[in-house]
Amino acid sequence: MGIDDAAVGVITERAYARIGLFGNPSDGYFGRTISVSIQNFFSEVTLVPDQQCFSSRVSFEPGPCDWNAFDSLTALAEHTKAHGHYGGVRLLRALCVRFHAYCAERDIPLHAQGFTLKYSTGIPKRAGLSGSSSIIVAGLRCLMKHYDARVPLEDQPFLVLQCERDLGINAGLQDRVIQTYEGAVSMDFSDETRVAATGAGRYERLKTSAFPELMLVWGDEGSDSGATHADVKRRWENGDAFVRETMAKIAAIAAEARDALTGAGFDDAESSAATRTATLVALMNENFDLRRAMFGDEALGARNIDMVMTPRQFGAGSKFTGSGGAAVVLCPDGNDQWERVKEACEAKGFKTARVVLNPAPCAA
């Protein structure tokens, strides 16, 4: 039986996809990043309080990726190839366990009324747009409302990250920060002591109005972020000089991009806008080139590399939004260049869309 959306006290929350614009993947290596929240795609979680008096029952309704029965072995294999071995219910279960522990450690009282959780998501799978963490973020917002229990904003990213780590998901803090804070955020994770002790970096909100128009390009191949990062993570932990030096350069790109976006070090005249945009294009391309040198073409995949390099044939800036599966593109020369990039990408079977930035809540 599905959730009765006419039930009393239904809570529905959204969390949006994100684009890692500059500096990724250095967020997982004590670096710096700039990310934006986008309205193009989102996940939604609905919580329905148990309608039976005095019931403390907690249940989860299977989502679109939580199948346990298949028409054939072939159907099982195809579904698993598209969606992975696990669905979204495990994310919500991990969240409930962590939320309970968080509240218990801080003596936050929780009432006994049970509930059912269900989720849906329109975020493309394995596209580096943070679909998994969006389900957890939306679920956390539901739990906070249901229990009237506030988790401070600064604590939310690490709580979400812990849920994913409990499930063996290889993740850094960047995605969870931008999905909880929303808007545009410059993040600094360089203070290793602080990050280790608190699970948080230092965050600065940026004005979304400062960002140039962006294009999103994505395909159907996707990327497994855990597999992609595995070798580089091992090399980092073993002190590989090339990996450490390259991560430092990628982190520095985020710092330079922050200055270009805020106008720091640039003239205030409107004529400097073109200079700042050209700087962002160069930094975007350099970010990807450094990542490619470090991870290698085999790990990134030929299709993913083509997705990034196609816009660059027309003078655009382009890089992964995450670990692969989608790219963010900046066209500095306007609509004609934009249309050429769009046509070339779509001719190769990629999907494209104008990025719709998601401003931070007014109360944030």
The catalytic residues are: 175
Return the exposure string of 53-69: e unless at least 16 CB atoms fall within 10 Å of the residue's CB, then b.
Answer: eeeeeeebbebebeeee
Q: Do the Cβ atoms of 182 and 364 come closer than 8 Å?
A: yes
- Which residues are bridge partners to 36 per DSSP? 19, 184
- Classify 16 as helix, strand or coil: strand
Return the exposure string of 208-245: e unless at least 16 CB atoms fall within 10 Å of the residue's CB, then b.
Answer: eeebeebbbbbbebbbbbeebbeebbeebeeebeebee
Q: Do the Cβ atoms of 329 and 214 come closer than 8 Å?
A: yes
Residue type, 69: A
Per-residue DSSP letters for 150-164? PPPGGGHHHHHHHHH
DSSP H or E stretch at residue 347: helix 335-347
Residue spans of beta strands (DSSP E) within 144-214: 184-188, 202-206
Neighbours of 73 (CB within 10 A): 8
**How many alpha carbons fall within 13 Å on the CB side of residue 231?**
9
CA distance 347 to 352: 11
- Among residues 94, 92, 181, 199, the alpha carbon closest in space to that of 139 is found at 92
